[in-house]
Structures are given as structure tokens and as C-alpha cells.
Chain A
């Protein structure tokens, strides 16, 4: 009680002082806030419509209102009672998880080798890896398809996964991050008797955790939402991934938006979980990737 007077006084004064001394700065700040808010709305709208639509009956789908007139859970019941949904969800989860683990492991192994070892052809190899970044997926699906068909990989999990088990981007990202690990650390471990694999695993990998987390998120999201290649390589509904499976809710005559949006809404759950787990790393990871990339 006795102390109440002073703390209240002080902030008021400093606020006033701010306002009188720096009017321009606060104008700039308002503009920035408005812009950010606008950006935020643009980002959030599709998600809001997705959620809104998932609670609407089909007659209401083509109205722009965000609040359903007759909210319903029927879409969710329908999607969740359809056994295929679980199969697709499982397929997507399996493929995204395996691909993520594979990338985290192999991209960092190759990135580490490219960064920390001097060997003949190192530079050429690195350029070769980088140059694959310039070829878009659309150009690659036909060779992939021919390859899969020759090797009997069509309509298999392996067929869906194999193109993404390692990525040039991930390799490049990890190589850049390993540059931040001082050579002294590795040499100290070498003197202490660790072999090169042990050094990579016990010394270098823990030091690039932020990059690993960022890579894991990029790869997981990329594979979770991948559409073109899974659509091409799979033929039976049992092998579909979630994004491919959701398209079966539409046919030539009619697109059942409310069901697609419900499936999409459910499918964001794992990505949210991945985000929550890795969120404290991702900002740094993205910033670094932006800086170095």
C-alpha cells in the first residue's frame, strides 16, 4: 500500500516524456503496427475460412460469412468415420517422419563432411549438390516416375519417399551451420581419442541443434503437404497420403469443400505439434537460413 504511489508515478512520466520528445517515432510505430496487422490478417484468413467451412453444411459453403449460421460437427464425424482417412493420415505421418529423420541424419553427415574435411573434388561435389537446387520438382517427376516404374517402386511408401530422403537444401543448410562450429572443438575431441563419427555425433551435432530443428520443421512440413509426386506415384487409395486422399472428396460434378476443409483442419494438428516442439529453435533457424542462404 505504502509503495503504491511511486511506481505508478514513474511510468506515467516516462510515457509522457516519450510522447513529447519522439512524436515521429511513434507515428512510424503506428504505421508499422497497421502494416503488421494487415499482414497478419492476410495470413490468418485462409485458416479462418478453413475452420469456418469445416463447421458449415454444404449449402452454406459459398457464403463469405466466417460464422456458420447452423454450426455442425457432422463433417468431422463423416471424415473421422471414414476409415480411409486414418490410412492416409498414417501414410503421411510415416512418410513425413521417416523423411525428416533421414534428412536430419544424412544432410548433416554430408554437410559436415563438406564443411570440415578437405578432400579432392570437394568443391565440385558441393557445386553439384547446389546445382540440383535449380531444378524444379515439376521437371523431375517424369524421370522419377520412369525410375520408379523400372524398379518396381510405383505405389509403395518407398516410391513416395525416395526423392526426398536427402535434400540439397538441407545439405547446404547444415554445411553452413557447421561453419559456426570451431575446428578447435573437433581437434580437441580428436586428441581425446574420439573417432570421426563420434566427433560428429557427440560434439558437432549438439552444437547445431537449432539448425537441425529448423531443418526438421522444413522437411516435415514439406512432406506433410507434398502433393504432386505422391499423386503421381500412388494409384491405390491405400497408398494415398492425406493431401492426395482429400482430393477424393471432389469429383467431376461436385467438390465437397466442407469435407476437404475438415480433413485439412485435422491435418494441421501434427504440424502444430511439430511447431510447438521445435518453436524455440525455429526463429533462430529461419533467421540463420535467411542470412546464410
Chain B
């Protein structure tokens, strides 16, 4: 277990800068998820922590010491890769034991460690198999096992669940979270999947184009997104965003409609973007904020996504699963005032 801190981390490849000063403090035993669209620099950040990528500028601290110039093996970290990186020509036992090859402990202790890890991960029966004889989930467990035997200061995961099918992904998500609760090591986990990020993280770091957009707990980034990007990225389906102009305590939407929004300190006539999560919109028969016709419904069982066309803009709302509004019918949408998000149209920063 160890703290980990990134100070002003910069990475350039030739002339292109891919990380623009990443600052992040990670507490001991914390589970931090880096999330963002593909190409935003998550892997690069992780690989710089691991020592697989040279640090252009800035510092990486692990357990209080600067590791910029240390080899990966001397940084006391372990990494789990997307394609597992377990060696096809070695048995499960050898693969897991591989992490201990260079460890300076007795053979008996090594065996003990190996067995303990195999036990925790439920791999005891499979130790003599080759990776080709394992399922995707089992392979990923072997990869995690290899990282675990060394009992490193921090685990780094780079999209470890992306190659698994949806059901297995959900299951492994839970397993990794349980594992963290059990062993308590510091974890930095990279994913492009916001659901993974929300469900696993103690803290989420949302990145875009080599910049950190927001750092916060899952609920924090969901309910108080710092900007429009975070608001859209977190939560599915995405937040409805509607541009408009603010004046006299209300937003007059470009495509029609007036939505009261008080408590903001901006100048009259400022261009803003109004945000409303589908979850916060209720479909009613009484008059509400918006009126429109139901264009499409997507039943998900417990709820139904309703796409409403209101004055030229499409708004998504969640309705009850059992008796969703009829296609083509006219409906009203309402939301409680505190569900409202307001962003500066030019900077994208949250105003409310």
C-alpha cells in the first residue's frame, strides 16, 4: 500500500503533446479510476506511472519518493493489461509464479504466496492448465494473480475488462472490487466505460484530450459535473443539453421554451446551456417544462427511454417500464428545479 502522486505530468511524442500537466494525489489504499474517451491519454498516464513510457516533464511519486528515473521493476507496482499478457507457453502456475521470479524470498515462501493467491482468485484447480485451456474470465484472473503475488505498492489496470463479454465484465467488475476491499492495495484503473468507472471507483478522474476535467467521487461527478463534457460523459443515456439565453431568472431556449433557473450569478443575456438528465425528467399529462410528441420508445424492462420531440429538439426522458407513453402521443415533461444544470456556453463550465 502506498500513496501515489502525479505532479504536472507532461508527455509529448515528437511535436504532439498528449498530456498537458496532470496533477493527481492518490491516497493509500484508494481505488481510483481514470476514465475518458479513447485517445485522451489514460494509458499514457498509467504507463508513465509504471515506467513503461518516458516522462517528458513533471514528477511521479510512489510512496513518497520520486520514481522518474527508476526502472519499472524498481517501482514496486504491478500492471494488468487489456489482453492479459499471460504467456501462452507457460502453465497457470508458472504464469502466476513469474511475478516472483526475481523476488528475494525463499522457495517455500514463494510457493505459499502462489497458493494463497490462487486460493483467493479461485484458481486452485487450474494451476497446471495452459492459458489456451482457460476462459476469458479465468485468464484475466491469472493476470491479476500474477500482479497480486508480488504484493506491490500499487496495482495498475489498463482496460482489463474490455475483451470480456458484457456478462463476464459485470462479474469481473464485482470481483475486482471485492478483491480491493479484501487486500486493500492502492489501485489505478483505466477504462473508457463510464459504468465501470462509476461502479468501481472510490474516486473518478475524468480526462479529455490530455487534461483532467474533474476529480471526484462517483456520486459527486454525477450530481455536480464540473463542465458540460463531464455532464455528458457520465450517465447513460447522456444528459439532455439545450442551448439558450439567460435573463431575469430564466433560460429562454433557442428552440423554444422558458425554463426558470434561479440562483446563478451571471450577466443578463449570457449564452448558456441547460442540462437535464433523463432520470430527472418525468413524463406527465399536466402542463410541464416541455411539451412534445413521443417519437421513439426504448423499453429496458424496469424503465423505458422516451424520445420526445419538443419544438425541434429531441429530449430523452425515463418513464416507468410497465406503462410507457404511446408512440406519437402528446406528452409533457417536468423536472424539479434542483435537477437543473446550467453551463456557460463558451467555456462549458458549470454555473449551477
User: Which of A's residues lie within 8 Å of B, judged by CB?
Assistant: 182, 184-185, 187-194, 203, 206-207, 209
Contacts and interface: CB of A to CB of B under 8 A. Distances in A.
Contact of A190 (B73, B87, B89, B101): B73
Contacts of B78: 191
Interface in B79-112: 79, 81-83, 85, 87-89, 98-99, 101-102
B101 A188 contact: no
Given A187-B52, A203-B87, A207-B89, A193 B101 contact: yes
A192 B82 CA distance: 17
Contacts of A209: 89
A184 B47 CA distance: 11
B50 interface: yes
Nearest to A203: B87
A192 B103 CA distance: 9
B72 interface: yes
Contacts of B150: 192
Contacts of A185: 85, 87
B190 interface: no
A88 to B, nearest CB: 39
B241 interface: no
A185 B52 CA distance: 12
B81 A188 contact: yes
B52 A190 contact: yes
Contact of B82 (A184, A191, A193): A184
A184 B81 contact: yes
A245 to B, nearest CB: 41
A136 B102 CA distance: 47
Contacts of B77: 191
Contact of B83 (A184, A189, A191): A184
Which applies to chain B's interface (DSSP): helix, strand, loop or mixed? Answer: loop
A90 B99 CA distance: 45
Contacts of A206: 87, 89
Contacts of A189: 98
A203 B270 CA distance: 61
A184 B88 CA distance: 13
B79 A188 contact: yes
A187 B71 CA distance: 11
Given A187-B79, A190-B52, A207-B88, 10 more contacts: A182-B85, A184-B82, A184-B85, A188-B81, A191-B50, A191-B51, A192-B101, A192-B150, A194-B101, A194-B102
Nearest to B53: A187
Which of the listed residues B77, B82, B101, B150 has the most CB atoms from chain A within 10 Å of its own CB?
B101
Nearest to B82: A184
Given A187-B52, A187-B79, A192 B85 contact: no
A194 to B, nearest CB: 7
Contacts of A190: 52, 71-73
Contacts of B50: 187, 191
A190 B150 CA distance: 14
A193 B147 CA distance: 12
Given A192-B73, A193-B73, A187 B102 contact: no
Contacts of B72: 187, 190-191
B22 to A, nearest CB: 21
A193 B77 CA distance: 11
A127 to B, nearest CB: 21
Closest 7 CB pairs of A and B: A193-B73, A193-B102, A188-B85, A184-B85, A184-B81, A206-B89, A191-B72
Nearest to A185: B85
Which of the listed residues B72, B79, B85 has the most CB atoms from chain A within 10 Å of its own CB?
B85
A285 B237 CA distance: 49
Contacts of A207: 87-89
A194 B101 CA distance: 8
A184 B72 CA distance: 13
25 contacts: A182-B83, A182-B85, A184-B83, A185-B85, A185-B87, A187-B52, A187-B72, A187-B85, A188-B85, A188-B146, A189-B98, A190-B52, A190-B71, A190-B73, A191-B77, A191-B78, A191-B79, A192-B73, A192-B101, A192-B146, A193-B73, A194-B101, A203-B87, A207-B87, A209-B89
